Structure 1
Amino acid sequence: MALPAATLAMQAIKSKPKVKVSSKVTTVLLATGFGLGAFFGVRALVRKFKRNTRERLALREGNPASFATQLKMAFENDNAFGWGTDEEMVYRTLEQVPSASLMRRVLRAYKDLYNSNLSADLKNELSTQEYAIALDIINSKT
Structure 2
Amino acid sequence: MAAPLLAYKAWQNRPRISISSQVTSTVLAVGAAAGVFWGIKAVVKNFKQGIREQQALTEGNPAAFATQLKMAFENDNYFGWGTDEEVVFSVLESIPNGSTMNKVQRAYRDLYGRNLAADLQDELSSEEFATALQMINAKS
Task: Give the TM-score normalised by the residue count of structure 1.
Answer: 0.85
Residues 61-95 of structure 1, C-alpha deviations (whole Å, 9 max, x = no match): 00000000000000000111341000000000000
1:52 maps to which residue? 50
1:11 maps to which residue? none
2:95 maps to which residue? 97
d(CA) in 1 for partners of 2:68, 2:17: 59
- Structure 1 segment 1-142 matched on structure 2, within 5 A: 20-142=18-140
Gaps of 5+ in 2: 1-14
Aligned residues: 126
CA shift, 1:18, in A, is: 7.1
**Identical aligned residues as a percent:** 58
> What secondary structure is seen at the aligned counterpart in 2 of 1:78?
coil
2:6 maps to which residue? none
Q: Give the superposed CA RMSD.
A: 1.3
Amino acid in the other structure paired with 2:93 = E
Amino acid in the other structure paired with 2:75 = N
d(CA) in 2 for partners of 1:127, 1:82: 18
Amino acid in the other structure paired with 2:122 = N
Task: Give the TM-score normalised by the residue count of structure 2.
Answer: 0.86
